[in-house]
Amino acid sequence: MAVAADVKLEGLRAATDKLDQISENEKSGFISLVSRYLSGEAEQIEWSKIQTPTDEVVVPYDTLSAAPEDLNETKKLLDKLVVLKLNGGLGTTMGCTGPKSVIEVRNGFTFLDLIVIQIESLNKKYGCNVPLLLMNSFNTHDDTQKIVEKYSNSDIEIHTFNQSQYPRIVTEDFLPLPSKGKTGKDGWYPPGHGDVFPSLNNSGKLDTLLAQGKEYVFVANSDNLGAIVDIKILNHLIHNQNEYCMEVTPKTLADVKGGTLISYEGRVQLLEIAQVPDEHVNEFKSIEKFKIFNTNNLWVNLKAIKRLVEAEALKMEIIPNPKEVDGVKVLQLETAAGAAIRFFEKAIGINVPRSRFLPVKATSDLLLVQSDLYTLVDGFVIRNPARTNPTNPSIELGPEFKKVANFLARFKSIPSIVELDTLKVSGDVWFGSGVTLKGKVTITAKSGKLEIPDGAVLENKSMCDESHIMTRPIARKGTERIILLNQFDDLIFHFILGLLAEWNYGVKPRDPRNGERSNSKQNGGEGAGELALEEEADDDDMRGGRSLPAAAARGSGGGGGGERWRRRRRWRRGERRAAWWWRRRWWDLTRSMAMVDFSSRREEGRVGGRSGGEEERWNGEDDVRPGPGQVGEVGAGGEVGRSVDTHRVAANGVDTEKTMVGLTWQVYQWFFFLRKDFFSSQNKINDTV
């Protein structure tokens, strides 16, 4: 077995020596990494030896000493610091080209813009000189060099260097892919951010920083908006001479696979899920036993890096990453910077607030940081204090939102999510402007396009296009529209109705149970059934013309002197008409506000119709459009009658010429005029009521 490994290594070494695209340092580092992989030297974790770190090993953030109040003392601390952002990733997973750090995050600013503004603000406030280092990969180097030119007038030094470039290994014969003619970018890979330490040294930047008197480097991912310079942490490390510090934060169910810090044989160590025996994986994922995880915000002493790199002592765990390039199976070996913690003296973790971990890995994260959950102050993303829940909402967006361009196109404006707990969106969903999401919301477009209207408020709703879209046609021939009902609609509609009832009609809201209810049982109920916007009907069914919403009723009771009213429809040729069915609570609320009791007297075994304004008779014309106060002959719950009777207003015992029908007609005309943008002509009503 060892002989076979040696043969593989020698063949790989010989082929690698012929590659002229990389430096001798890179060749040496690559062969050393592969040699360790083939030797199988990976350390096996003995589960029984794992111990939970104490507060001396993982220090609670709240126990750190406050930052110095004296500005000069703070300046001295910051002058020892350099910020290094890992900038090797591309934005391809979010549908973007070039470095991920140039994706616009908020208010037109990119990740890189915010990083520069933050450090520039720090330098200006304290009069210090904190430089910015960007570790690029060969994938991002050229674009980054062009981008940083726009910061030439900024009050900040920006330096760039490249991490190593290693050849991918062909699995079949264990030879470098570039040696087989694949000399383009597909033949190479960056070996993970664990390469930051040797690359910083090989680039010459480490010596330069040490010569400037810099002592610590703050390393973080460029897409972590919460990874900002913290003076309390820097002060603690300098005073306690800790060579290495990893920021950890409390684990949630979304972080169960993240690496965690453990105490192992007297040293602090990073435990990744790949190192966990199969029988202990569920235990590793438990947020009860392993309560913290690695944020990849690292603070490292520069002199310690120099010492360990030159001694070739940084032998972090190897992460095998199999890939396929143009049908060829390849292998790339990587390391992680967090795994280096066990090699440094007096290494610690600091349990920081969750606010220091705000990565943007997908458009669902972009929705969080672009919403009203955060504000932008001097380049710093600040959480909205109105959010009482300490954790951020859980957001899952379907593949339709995966690319940034598609994500932005599907939102007229980013919804308000301050009170949101969870959001799941799937299908062809589009959001209007001014939308508010609260509680637990699930939106599914099962078929076709689903538009969330402007100003919609969705709270604790699970909705789809079939079950949560109600039809509301305009009272006009040949018009078919739909509108999405939500709680905001109901609130506004009922509020307007209440104002009209109080102001325009002088009617005091009161309990409908106290109103007059003559003949309610005999005539098929109290008129509390569903109401409909009447369409043109047969002469046999409708003698008084087209009725209005509050008058066209089917009683919720039944029987008595009048038989239950039924309608037959005769659709005109080539024409589709729609009916409008209000929910029962609308009718109940309407009656409780206006207190109209549609009591009638029986006449010839039928319930008489009533007219509060001017009655319109059926005249056979193509379109009869009743106005306010007009009503056709409709019984309160029984069959439509031929004769006309009067109605009474129960509230205050006052008669009026203006019927509840007229009130309702005015209200919904006003309401739909104000909310006309809720309508969508995309969908048609296919089913008859």
Phi then psi dihedrals of residue 71, to 5 deg: -65, -35
Contact between residue 271 and residue 293 where contact means Cβ atoms under 8 Å apart: no
Structure letter (DSSP) for residue 90: B
Q: CA nearest 633: which of 536, 534, 558, 551?
A: 551
Same fold, 1-356 and 363-464: no
Residue 599: per-residue pLDDT: 32
Structure letter (DSSP) for residue 418: T
Angle at CA 473, nearest 5°, toward 661 and 505? Answer: 25
Residue 111: per-residue pLDDT: 95
Residue 5: per-residue pLDDT: 82
Residue 518: per-residue pLDDT: 33
Residue 439: per-residue pLDDT: 96
Residue 654: per-residue pLDDT: 38
Contact between residue 483 and residue 679 where contact means Cβ atoms under 8 Å apart: yes
Fold held by 363-464:
UDP N-Acetylglucosamine Acyltransferase; domain 1 (2.160.10)
Q: How many CB atoms lie within 10 A of CB 626?
A: 23
What residue spans define the domains of the chain? 1-356, 363-464
Residue 199: per-residue pLDDT: 96
Q: pLDDT tens digits, residue range 306-344? A: 999 999 999 999 999 999 998 999 999 999 999 999 999
Q: What is the Cα–Cα distance from 165 to 167, expressed in whole angstroms?
A: 7
Q: What is the model's pTM?
A: 0.69
Q: CA nearest 133: which of 168, 84, 195, 95?
A: 84
Q: Which two tokens stand for residue 126?
A: 């304290």
The list of the chain residues with pLDDT below 70 reads 1-3, 41-44, 465-689
Q: pLDDT tens digits, residue range 397-449? A: 999 999 999 999 999 999 999 999 999 999 999 999 999 999 999 999 988 89
CATH of domain 1-356: 3.90.550.10
Residue 669: per-residue pLDDT: 54
313: which residues sit within 8 A by CB, 6+ positions away?
343
Q: Which two tokens stand for residue 268?
A: 């602090």
Q: CA nearest 386: which of 405, 365, 372, 404?
A: 372
Q: What is the Cα–Cα distance from 199 to 201, expressed in whole angstroms?
A: 5
